[in-house]
Amino acid sequence: MKNPNSLKIFILEDDVWYGSMLNHYLSLNPDYEVRRFESSKAFFGALHEKPDVVTLDYSLPDMDGGEVLKKIREVHPDIQVIIISGQDDVATAISLLKNGAFDYIVKDDDTKDRLWNILAHLKEIDGLRKEVEQLKEQVGKKYDFSKFLIGKSDAIERVFALVEKASKTNITVSISGETGTGKEMVAKAIHYNSEKHKKPFVPVNVAAIPKDLIESELFGHEKGAFTGAVTRRIGKFEEANGGTLFLDEIGEMDINLQAKLLRVLQEREITRIGGNEVVPINVRIIVATHKNLLDEVQSKNFREDLYYRLIGLPIHLPPVRERGNDIVILAKHFMDQFSKENGGDKKILDADAQQKLLGYAFPGNVRELKSVMELACVMTDGETIAAEHISINTTAKVADLMNKERSLKEYEIQIIQHYLDKYDKDVLLVAKKLDVGKSTIYRMIQAGELKAR
């Protein structure tokens, strides 16, 4: 079985003695898997095996070394090529290096040692490359939206579908939803599942940065641009170049800065504060807000032209209270996650605890639910989490229901719809829970007063 840490080396050398000598010498390293070829025809016949390194004799009888290098680079540009030549020709060496050769060695008494050192360096580079690829793969898995956007409700399934669409394009995305619904996590999922996943993801919380500093934070500044600017600073737009800039709480941005942001989005370039240099940018924009931006436009707090520039693909994250049984699914997920991180035994959520969670409005949404479940894991002394271990404000559901004046009919519709959502549209179960006739519920569905899909 091939050692995954080995370095596969092909030697292309028409001099049988010299090629055999190199083959023997390099094979002394157990981490090297070495093969020797005497002709370019035989070599290219095996190139599909994708060696990590090729040592190439420049003077071959059937093909010029420069042509071999060019063909290797065309087929497998990741293969590193070391030229070994009998001539000390500086012009040829420079030309080959420009065309992609990793190094150029002249055949002499030091060739073996120089080659040994170069290969050791290449093996180190290859190890780092593999490590980076593994880390990137882990990051991709970490932000696999089908794994961290937990739930089975219709509401979250619609979010899944939109996130997948957003990941396949570079369209601007606007994420809306109450505080704690996971807007930044959705932004990361889009970025790390898109073609820009190898580039930076740079988050900026607009609401957390003082008004007089936000412009410098976004666009950067030159040394001496203002008091305290002792060095040049690269802004978030430049930092995110090639990747994604996530502007959280965009609705809090000052109206004057909105005009500058609009210009940057239109021109795709920025100028640092106090500077004249125009810096081109290639950045995907994802914005998020807990506000209704259209209402902010109508209230003259947000520019209409910027709104239409940013709206792009809108994704609304539903609050937890509208996700029915997802509350229980999420609760179990957070329990398992907490137990794993703290080395504890896996815990069970009993029926009464589930009902207590389902009867609560969770104004803090997913963030609050996670905190509640982590505390519950600490409070229980056994493997079962009971209702007594769930610390929540039980009046929140009533407050949410009564926060608007409605007719009795409207209250009836809201309550039945809530239970339909909670129990995955199971009409018979809802009828039993509420002690109403199932025909009443079916009639309301047919009339369009309730949604059963």
Residue 249 sits in a domain whose CATH number is: 3.40.50.300
The answer to whether residue 385 sits within a structural domain is yes
Q: Number of folded domains in the chain? A: 4
Whole-angstrom distance, CA of residue 411 vs CA of residue 257: 44
Structural domain including 419 reads: 404-446
The answer to whether residue 451 sits within a structural domain is no
Final residue belonging to a domain, choices 280, 296, 316: 316
CA distances from 138 to 131, 142, 145, 192 (A): 11, 6, 13, 10
pLDDT score at 73: 85
Final residue belonging to a domain, choices 138, 173, 191: 138
Do 165 and 254 lie in a common domain?
A: yes
Tokens of 155: 């509401």
Do 103 and 150 lie in a common domain?
A: no
Do 386 and 252 lie in a common domain?
A: no
- Give Cα 192 to chain centroid, integer Å: 2
The answer to whether residue 192 sits within a structural domain is yes
Whole-angstrom distance, CA of residue 318 vs CA of residue 326: 11
Count of CA atoms in the C-beta half-sphere (13 A) of 194: 27
Count of CA atoms in the C-beta half-sphere (13 A) of 30: 1
Do 243 and 283 lie in a common domain?
A: yes
The answer to whether residue 19 sits within a structural domain is yes
The answer to whether residue 453 sits within a structural domain is no
Do 89 and 13 lie in a common domain?
A: yes
pLDDT score at 155: 87
Cβ atoms 37, 72 nearer than 8 A: no
Do 153 and 279 lie in a common domain?
A: yes
pLDDT score at 277: 86
CATH of the domain at 373: 1.10.8.60
The answer to whether residue 370 sits within a structural domain is yes
The answer to whether residue 374 sits within a structural domain is yes
pLDDT score at 398: 44
* Averages of pLDDT over each 10 residues, the chain, 453 residues: 70 88 88 89 88 87 84 85 82 83 86 86 74 57 60 88 92 93 91 90 91 88 80 88 94 92 92 88 94 91 95 93 91 91 88 90 90 92 91 57 68 83 81 85 86 71
Whole-angstrom distance, CA of residue 104 vs CA of residue 124: 19
Final residue belonging to a domain, choices 301, 316, 331: 316
Do 331 and 416 lie in a common domain?
A: no
Do 211 and 175 lie in a common domain?
A: yes
Do 292 and 181 lie in a common domain?
A: yes
The answer to whether residue 301 sits within a structural domain is yes
Do 249 and 308 lie in a common domain?
A: yes
Do 340 and 229 lie in a common domain?
A: no
For tokens 């010029």, what's the residue? Answer: 64
Tokens of 360: 């609560």
Tokens of 302: 């947000």
CATH of the domain at 59: 3.40.50.2300
Do 227 and 249 lie in a common domain?
A: yes
